[in-house]
Amino acid sequence: MSPAAHEVLDAHARERLAGLATGPVDLPAELPDRLAAEDALGLFDSQLASRHLDLAARWLRARGRGYYTIGSSGHEGNAAVAAALRADDPALLHYRSGAFYLERARRAAAAGLEVGGGPIDGVRDVALGLVAATDEPISGGRHKVFGRHELAVIPQTSTIASHLPRTVGVAFAIGRAARLGVDCPWPADAVAVCSQGDASVNHSTATGAINAAVQVGYRGLPMPLLIVCEDNGLGISVPTPEGWVAHAFADRPGLRYFAADGSDLAQTWTVARDAAAFVREQRRPAFLHLRTVRLMGHAGTDLESAYRRPAQLQADLARDPLLGTARLLVGAGVLSPAQALERYEATGERVRATLLEATDRPELATAEAVMAPLAPRRPDAVAAEVARMAERVAAGQGAAADQDTPSLTLAQTINRCLRDVLTAYGTALVFGEDVGAKGGVYGVTKGLAKKFGTARVFDTLLDEQTILGLALGAGVSGLLPIPEVQYLAYLHNAEDQLRGEAATLPFFSAGQYRNPMVVRVAGYGYQKGFGGHFHNDNAVGVLRDVPGLVIASPARPDDAAAMLRSCVAAARVDGSVSVFLEPIALYHSTDLYAGGDGAWTCPWVGPAGWAEGHVPIGRGRVHGEGSDLTIVTFGNGVPMGLRVAKRLAADGVGVRVLDLRWLAPLPVEDLVAAATATGRVLVVDETRATGGVSEGVFAALVDAGYSGRLARVAAKDSFIPLGDAANLVLVSEGEVDVAARALLAR
């Protein structure tokens, strides 16, 4: 039986370390400038620990006692990158940056940082993650990630390059917080650093993020971002063309390029320090190209011999960074060959002992424990924050806060509410495409930039990934981002920033990191045929299945203001991520039953009335008290349902209309009560029949034991076309009327 990959790598390292005494005579005679012997030994220790964690992870997995085998072997040169940065520089690391994490932890321990009554131990942190132990310090056993709040290492998932837009946002937020004079968890001169592989730089998420960073720097705004590309020449089995990374980034204007051989610790130490110094001093982005090798394959299940030649594998072994560092230390007289081997073996024993101890630690045992960090709901705290918001607005605006105003439309109410939020919180930012001088495509943000300045209300690139990444970075950096995505259809190309980044951050950090935000999105149909699909998108299924995501869907102006305040308050106290879906067709509506009745406008309620009008997340609104039929709907379905209810009332039928208001979490308590009151429920769903809201409503009623009659009217499973053909696939008021009468007749 052939030895396993980890056994081959271990044996090779031992053999080469033992042979250093009789090895080549051209060993380095001294350490390079600025690299002291103590620093070199510390870096070597971090490299050794990272390697042995990889070896032990493979050993454990072979015995069914570990859960993760993607390792950092061959990338250990990134320890020098950690040494070039400060412990308070926010770091977002990919899954091969193990030595970086261990070096940052080692330096923190040497500086006296203690956790739980003892020095911080990076090896134990990683070991606990490998076995999914609940006392793993960042995710609590939910995922193997590099992260620790005390080390300013923000955990990242394995999604390729998805963390780059957030890192751009963090770098932007460092400068913006300083400009606004508001608190930020990172120092004003901090550098935001992210690492990724060579295959990832080709991903659209990476190219978009890097472009955004360069453009921000081009405009003269601070962008203290260090992008580290750990280039091992492979994306699992697909080779990166030789020289491609340098070709793509070495001469890019606005992005300073640094390159080092990651197998050469001395060179990496020097170049990484130069790169970090450039970013810190110039506040401009830089790209550190670290050439590495990948040892032992992509993961434990990866058989490299299936796609790589033996000569290629041997060439990588010859560039093992551990052996390169050992040669440096032996040649400079810092260690003898015997001491280098002894250090290797002693580190292995310590790592294995730590890992075996970790296997006895408890794992997550209940669904409730797994889900605990996802979406904490503290309605009393949210209500209290709304009250504090009212106090701040009243203090900031004086008598004008409660000044009588004429009735407002939905768009005007949202605008007024955004003014209040910006007044109440100096950390609040409103941004997106066209939100600044233009005031939004539909005028919803009109006047905000003029009143609050372009540091707080500003236009962004025409890129939704960048908009959401900016919000992610701002939120985790102490700001209160309220980004706008111009149309619902435009959100889908960037939806992973909500699913894979925003929603997962509290999950993979056990709530230690959160990225509060309220994402405003104009959506739905009913624009009289104008715009076609991309301006009339009614697909919300992709949002409703994101764990923990709040989806608000106001229909009436008075609800919109109260719900927006709730979303902002929940972001403040719970770190909630909300999507605030605004029906475009109702933005400027004024009438409900007849032209000129003004029934779809509402007077502005000043801060004194916010407590009474507070709308908790997940609570619906019932219109009417009829006992014959309940119409359950939201968005554009609300005015349709109310008009149908009025016609039915003329025929002696009592109807109540439940406006769900929240699509996630659904107002189940209000839904069940309204359904039970009549025993007949008609769901009017302007989203699609498949994957729409009505399916969730039906399931909630069945789960609650509702046994009355059910029917629904939903939009067709189709994109929305241009012109009058749109009416063929959207729900019509006539369909609602017919369906209601049919249900009553059953």
Per-residue CA distances from 259 to 197, 243, 641 (Å)? 14, 12, 64
Q: How far apart are CA 368 and CA 507, in angstroms?
A: 12
Measure CA of the first residue to CA of the last residue in the chain; give whole Å. Answer: 73
Report which secondary-structure segment, H or E, holds 277: helix 265-282
Which tokens is 641 given? Answer: 């349902």
Beta bridge partners of 630: 656, 681
Closest CA relative to residue 389, chosen from 580, 609, 549, 578: 609
Q: How far apart are CA 207 and CA 165, in angstroms?
A: 10
Per-residue CA distances from 430 to 172, 192, 453, 604 (Å)? 14, 22, 11, 21
Q: How far apart are CA 79 and CA 49, in angstroms?
A: 11
Please, are residues 574 and 534 in contact by the beta-carbon 8 Å criterion?
no
Amino acid at 276: A
Q: How far apart are CA 578 and CA 552, in angstroms?
A: 7
Q: How far apart are CA 163 and CA 465, in angstroms?
A: 11
Q: How many CB atoms lie within 10 A of CB 416?
A: 18
Report which secondary-structure segment, H or E, holds 210: helix 204-218
Q: What is the CA radius of gyration of the chain?
A: 29
Q: How far apart are CA 268 and CA 204, in angstroms?
A: 28
Q: Which of 75, 143, 535, 614 is catalytic?
A: 535
For residue 450, give every residue at least 6 positions away whose Cβ sits within 8 Å of its Cβ, in sequence order, or none: none
Catalytic residue check, 75: no
- Inter-axis angle of helices 464-476 and 204-218, to 10 degrees? 70
- Angle (CA) 68 97 72, round 5°: 55
- Inter-axis angle of helices 5-18 and 337-358, to 10 degrees? 150
Q: How far apart are CA 222 and CA 240, in angstroms?
A: 32
Q: Give me the torsion for CA of 185, 188, 190, 194, rounded to 10°.
A: 70
Per-residue CA distances from 192 to 26, 429, 498 (Å)? 38, 20, 21
Residue with tokens 């509402």: 602
Closest CA relative to residue 159, chosen from 518, 551, 505, 473: 505
The DSSP bridge pattern shows strands 114-115 and 118-119 to be antiparallel
Q: How far apart are CA 709 and CA 292, in angstroms?
A: 65
Q: How many CB atoms lie within 10 A of CB 181?
A: 7
Q: How far apart are CA 70 and CA 302, in angstroms?
A: 10
Q: How many CB atoms lie within 10 A of CB 244?
A: 15
Q: What are phi and psi of 694, to 5 degrees?
A: -60, -35
Report which secondary-structure segment, H or E, holds 682: strand 680-688
Amino acid at 3: P
Just list the catalytic residues. 535
